[in-house]
Structure 1
Amino acid sequence: MKRSMLIACCLAAAFSTPLPAADEPAAGPTKSLLLPEGQTDVDMERFAPSSSQVTMSPDGKGALMTIAVGNEQYPGVHFKPEDAWDLSAFGWVEATFTNLGTKPSMCALRIDGQSAGGEWGSNTESVTVKPGETANAKVYFGYAYGGKPATKLNQSAISKVVVFCNKSSEEQKIRIDSIVAGGKTGDAPPVKPENVRVKPVNGVIYDKSVTLKESQTEGKEGAVVAPSTDGIAIEFPAGTAAKWALLKPEIGRWTLVDAYGVEVKFVNTGDQPVRLRVKASSNGGATDVIESEVVAPGASGVVEVPFEPAVPWLGIKDSTKTSWNGVKGTGTGFTSDSVGSIVFSVDGSDKKQSVTIKSVVAGQLSQRPIPDWVGKRPPVEGDWVMTFDENFDKGIDYRTWNVYTENYWDKRSHFSKDNVIVEDGVAKLRYEKKTGFHNDDPSGKKTDYATGFLDTYGKWVQRYGYFEARMKLTKGPGMWPAFWLMPDRGLAAGPQWKRADTGNSGMEFDIMEHLGRWGRYRFNIALHWDGYGKGHQQTGSQTIYYQPDKDGYVTSGLLWLPGLAVFYANGREVLRWETPRISNVPSDIMFTNVTGGWDNNGIDDSMMPDDFIIDYVRAWQRKDLASDLDGYKLPQGVEPGPAAPTASPAASPVPAKTE
């Protein structure tokens, strides 16, 4: 999340649910955008380079894009029509690129326009072109990044085509040979089998009600697998060498986003004791290997495989640059939306071992106890004092909270105080389809969706300490709720962009950032610093898994000390980073419930209203770290209102609470 607007270009191939088309659509009429009918030369005036690194020149019937070495992350060119293109009769746009440089180049094609709701949107695909070779990038309307469903553009008013490459240490020369619209309205990209997603009914991957095909099981290194009506029989031969068996989807990958882990039930059908080992493998990596207890011949056993790793993610110590990998052997890369197999193995033995798998079910696992300290104190010893305690027992206190600000994240919605609902001891940031004006201001932007917002910007800040909130996440696809901290240097620091700058020793802490596409058991933790421009740096993990408490909540916490940030989920440490670059700037607390994000899917109106529920928010400060920078910052004489104070004190105060 960012308080300033950032349009990021995500170029990695994405994986999606099954797509409606199985084969490449048949060819049909086309329309050249680069060289319209009746035009013999490319109109170079219609190209607008993204920076001085990029120059354009004519080259035969095409246009040569030369990209000098420089700092721009995605150098390229905007190609605009005299008037908006009406491509409503077509299904896709395809560009042909020839690489005249000396190194492979990633060439991306982006189609820009507005969605049906009037928001800016784009569809993007990319291709890597080797030196001296020609390749095509094809964008289907409504799809992006490897055929993943994306923004549905108003095809009757396409505003521009953008061609860009990745940053390179060498000059790049890419000839744009053609840009053509073709196909017919509604065309969809062809299905790639590996992109198909199979969602097991009620999480049941296998039990006696499931009939497996022969291709769904496989033995390795001598293991023999034999599915039957009684279960999946596996025989592991004698020997100390590793051997294993796999259970796989019929096609593509399983999506297990509605699960925290996998439970396997089995019977020891051999004459030797067995300790069954199980893991789940995905496109992003595998879970930990979990072992059963030793099971005697004829007895039954259970293995519970959580998606959450035993060893929390550990950042590269003392690093000051972007790195998402962390220390090897910590955290997990497992992605529950792309599970390719369940893997079974046993310890080596001088005798053969046999088991029969009775069931494999994805879902909740045995409930883990929440440590007693959660909600009562920080997770480490020290002389701590509670400095913030919001339980939402009454209305929103405007001496502490703002409900209005700019919406930098979600252009389809507006913020409204009516969508911050305090009832039954919780605050609900409600996202719903409701037409209204941003910040309830009739002169503001009018949109068809409303949502709630809370932050303490300009009213309460703290540098260092422990911050914690108990939350229940949204349920629908496309949602993007988050709990985070942002720098606030105070009114004296100047305009908002200076006050909230993540450079100059500041930092954005994303304590809990959830994308609806991932399912309720996974979220992101991230740290961003050095601004959001060319110098932007970031680290963290997008694969933080948690098991909700008995009431369906997650309690997320951040221990922020000089040179150290440690994150918690339901009392378990999930991420740690030690570096001198950790922020030393006072920060405010934020809660947002918008839609979108970098790896999300479309929203579903039928699942609205969709509430991001906050039970409590608490903060503690260690006495030796406390300073005058901490605490309530509403200037004396300034009336507490629904937005952050930005001007001189008002004449008289107004009631601070809304009931």
Structure 2
Amino acid sequence: MNNNLNRIIGSLFISCLFMMGCGTDDTQTVATFNNLVAEDNFDVDGEIDTSFWNFDIGDGSEQGIPGWGNNELQFYTDRSENVTVENGFLLITAQEEDFNGAQYTSARLQTKGKIQQRYGRFEARIRLPFGQGMWPAFWLLGDDSDGSVSPQIGEIDIMENTGDAPTEIFGTVHGPGYSGENSISKKYTLVNSRVDTGFHIYGIEWGPDYINYYVDNVLYYQVTPEDVDEETDGEGEWVFNDRQFYIILNLAVGGNLPGSPNEETVFPQTMVVDYVRVYTNGIN
């Protein structure tokens, strides 16, 4: 991929002098994952590649309560109005419409059982939507095929954004003792740019004892087992070694994090994905 040499080749550590919000005496572990093992460049117009992606369909109802656990307002579909490939891009579009009891529709894609691994680099080049109530995300979820449930399976949110904050994204981890509102997270602020007017590369590099967060190949955040221990007063558990994780791309409407759309929110809104790539260095 572009700028591989900029990802710190030949070094195991880099001073946090170059990192956002770190002390100059700290160090962060850096790995170079350069073995491309999976990618979707969305080169074929029309339907998504079902050898790579699955659809999550519905309103996420649990015990009769919709919202995917987050009080979201959309119904996810597999319709072309909500998800399609066009001119080399994946388009995930939120519509304002009455559909199966919901006021909005959108799409959520995931790679469970198809593209999943433990450790490596996961990245995507994306242009995000804009407007109050928009909640686009690119994230990883631990495989629950063994019957484990959240937060034990772990969650790595590579990129989340609220549509009313077009210069900010969040990188977050969830696990036992640090899930939901108590998750461990850091904000990254773009300078002289916006997430909705240009494409940006969002990625993580994940090893046995760290998860590094990148925007446009800039390392801005690292989470380690020691950070989890410190943030949870010893009550948290590092669950990022014992299972494979799969990719999720979705555009939610409303919910706990962004709040509902308002009268200024324009529909439709589209999350435009140029590519998704997965790398390894052979340790997974």
Structure 1 residues 477 and 537, CA gap change in structure 2 (3 angstroms): closer
Say yes or no: does 1:425 pair with 2:84. Answer: no
Q: In structure 1, what is the equivalent of residue 188 of structure 2? A: 544
d(CA) in 2 for partners of 1:607, 1:410: 21
Q: Secondary structure at the match of 2:164?
A: helix
Maintained 8 Å contact 1:410/1:595: no
Q: In structure 1, what is the equivalent of residue 65 of structure 2? A: none
Decide which of 56, 60, 70 is 1:404's aligned counterpart.
56
Say yes or no: does 1:583 pair with 2:228. Answer: no
**1:417 Cα deviation from its structure 2 partner:** 1.2
The count of residues paired between Structure 1 and Structure 2 equals: 237
**1:603 Cα deviation from its structure 2 partner:** 1.0
Q: In structure 2, what is the equivalent of residue 562 of structure 1? A: 208
Unpaired stretches in structure 2, ≥5 consecutive residues: 1-16, 61-67, 227-237
Q: In structure 2, what is the equivalent of residue 573 of structure 1? A: 219
Maintained 8 Å contact 1:482/1:513: yes
Maintained 8 Å contact 1:517/1:601: no
Maintained 8 Å contact 2:71/2:256: no
Q: Secondary structure at the match of 2:131?
A: coil
**1:481 Cα deviation from its structure 2 partner:** 0.6
Structure 1 residues 484 and 616, CA gap change in structure 2 (3 angstroms): same
Structure 1 residues 517 and 601, CA gap change in structure 2 (3 angstroms): farther
What is the RMSD computed on CA atoms of the aligned residues? Answer: 2.9
Q: Secondary structure at the match of 1:526?
A: strand
Q: Looking at both structures, which has the greater relative contact order when contacts are Cα pairs under 8 Å and sequence separation is at least 6?
A: 2
Structure 1 residues 329 and 561, CA gap change in structure 2 (3 angstroms): same
d(CA) in 2 for partners of 1:531, 1:613: 34
Say yes or no: does 1:416 pair with 2:61. Answer: no
**1:557 Cα deviation from its structure 2 partner:** 0.6
**1:411 Cα deviation from its structure 2 partner:** 4.1
Maintained 8 Å contact 2:172/2:185: yes
d(CA) in 2 for partners of 1:601, 1:618: 31
Q: In structure 2, what is the equivalent of residue 312 of structure 1? A: 20
**1:436 Cα deviation from its structure 2 partner:** 2.0
Q: In structure 2, what is the equivalent of residue 525 of structure 1? A: 171
User: CA-to-partner distance for each residue in 1:309-362, whole Å, 9 max, x for gaps?
Assistant: 963245xxxxxxxxxxxx7999xxxxxxxxxxxxxxxxxxxxxxxxxxxxxxxx
Say yes or no: does 1:393 pair with 2:43. Answer: yes
Maintained 8 Å contact 1:396/1:422: yes
Normalising by the residue count of structure 2, what TM-score does the alignment of the two structures yield? 0.74
Decide which of 163, 169, 175 is 1:516's aligned counterpart.
163
Spell out the pairing of 1:67-466 with structure 2 (5 A cutoff).
311-313=19-21, 380-381=31-32, 384-394=34-44, 395-406=47-58, 407=60, 408=68, 409-418=70-79, 419-437=82-100, 446-466=101-121
Maintained 8 Å contact 2:151/2:179: no
Which structure would you say has the larger Rg? 1
d(CA) in 1 for partners of 2:219, 2:138: 17
Q: Secondary structure at the match of 1:517?
A: coil
Unpaired stretches in structure 1, ≥5 consecutive residues: 1-308, 315-326, 331-378, 438-445, 627-659
Normalising by the residue count of structure 1, what TM-score does the alignment of the two structures yield? 0.33
d(CA) in 1 for partners of 2:257, 2:108: 22
Structure 1 residues 544 and 533, CA gap change in structure 2 (3 angstroms): closer
Q: In structure 2, what is the equivalent of residue 603 of structure 1? A: 261
Maintained 8 Å contact 1:546/1:570: no
Maintained 8 Å contact 1:414/1:436: yes
d(CA) in 2 for partners of 1:598, 1:546: 24
User: CA-to-partner distance for each residue in 1:39-89, whole Å, 9 max, x for gaps?
Assistant: xxxxxxxxxxxxxxxxxxxxxxxxxxxxxxxxxxxxxxxxxxxxxxxxxxx
Q: Percent identity?
A: 25
